[in-house]
Copies of this chain bind each other. A is one copy, B any other.
Amino acid sequence: MNAPNSFSPLSLSNRSHWASRGAISFLMQQGVENPGVLSLAAGLVDPTTLPVELAQQQLTDLLADDARARECLQYGTTPGSEHLRRELLPFFAGLEKSTPQELDLTADDLLLTTGSQQLLSLTCDALFNPGDICLVAAPTYFVFLGALEAVGAQAISVKTDSDGMCPDALDETLASLEQEGKLDRVKLIYLVSYYENPSGVSLATTRRKRIVELAKKWSKSHRLIILEDAAYRELQYDGEVYPSIWSFDTDREHVIYTQTFSKSFSPGVRVGFGLVPDELKKPFSDLKGNDDFGSAHLNQRLMAGVLDSGKYAPHVDQVKASYTLKRDAMLAAADKYFSDIEGVTWEHPHGGLYVWMSLPENIPTGFDSRLFEEAVQRQNVMYVPGELCFAADAVERNHMRLSYGVLPPDRIDEGMRSLAAAIRVIASQS
């Protein structure tokens, strides 16, 4: 079997080589396949929040009517079910504290995808040629960094603080890129606008407005697009209610907005949606047509039924109540076990699934670090190394993304205690 291999080696595409980092696959495998280890890493949602009864009811109702059942089991269209897109209009407008009429939105403005991940991937396919540039926060969503890598795009970090990406730093970065003659390669600014994965911070309202203005200001040879990833928008537990970045893009030309039902309803249903500027509708639909013709129609009709049932909002309230307890449990455990470890700090998120913890700079947290080994092998706890969440131009190695998504409060406490123990071991050796 080896001889022919060496005789005729595979010749893969550049994309295939670029995509080979695959940290997401590695981590999801870990999360799904190592239930033994206490996972503060997995971005999986809390199984107890999953809508078993609601899904049962809606699927039963959906398939009870024979004609409707046959519609659901048939192909849909590439942009997705008209039923769901119509249901999404008042849903999305509600998040915007408005109405579809006021927002001048129609079903044609919506694109349905396999989770919001597919819309992130389609955006990369639609905009980037190899060597093109995307501006990102530091830290940012590591899966998106992988998606950029997979299309040969370059991620450039912009200074970020506890109010999200800093507009002044963004302006300066764009100015220096222009001076370097690289402005024509800058296609996109990527922002997780609510309770960012991994940092848990949200972009301040004034910054949302300012960054849209900067996208317009720096649209010179071509239009600079903002990709607003609002995956965690609905998972708000307290604090300020933020308007979307999209809401400040009054001419509807600069912002691609994406959201998903994976966190608020079910990741196993894989339904996400997006709003794209008019001129991007056909390119996105053409690319998606090649990818899969359209996502599973049955699942889209299920979500349409769920939204129409009036039972979605109460379900989300339950989900939020559950995660609020778990966030509080993780923050309480952080106070309890980490307060007296010198140089350890963490963010206090108002939503989402993550607490971002920073260690002294002499304690790296990577897959190949002594801390990761100590944590996973001896303390039986896993986290996401923060270094995965930085673009190559500004990697920091002393952070951890801690998720309270999967574990119940008592196990979160146990995991945090174990993690603190691991850190004490390494700190004592440093």
Contacts and interface: CB of A to CB of B under 8 A. Distances in A.
A60 interface: yes
Given A1-B251, A59-B59, A74-B50, A8 B220 contact: yes
Interface stretch (A111-119, A232-240, A417-425): A111-119
A126 B14 CA distance: 8
B52 A63 contact: yes
A374 to B, nearest CB: 27
Interface in A280-316: 280, 282-283, 285-287, 289-299, 301
Most chain B CB neighbours (cut-off 10 Å) among A15, A45, A59, A143: A15
Given A52-B69, A76-B268, A77-B32, A293 B125 contact: no
B77 A127 contact: no
Contacts of A78: 24-25, 28-29
A20 interface: yes
Q: Is the interface of A mostly helix, strand, loop or mixed?
A: helix
A108 to B, nearest CB: 12
Interface in A49-94: 50-52, 55-56, 59-60, 63-64, 66, 69-78
A74 B118 contact: no
Interface residues of A, number: 100
B74 A268 contact: yes
Most chain B CB neighbours (cut-off 10 Å) among A63, A64, A72, A294: A294
A281 to B, nearest CB: 11
A56 to B, nearest CB: 5
Given A8-B220, A59-B63, 15 more contacts: A1-B252, A4-B251, A11-B184, A20-B283, A22-B285, A28-B294, A33-B77, A52-B63, A55-B63, A71-B268, A73-B269, A76-B268, A117-B292, A146-B289, A268-B301
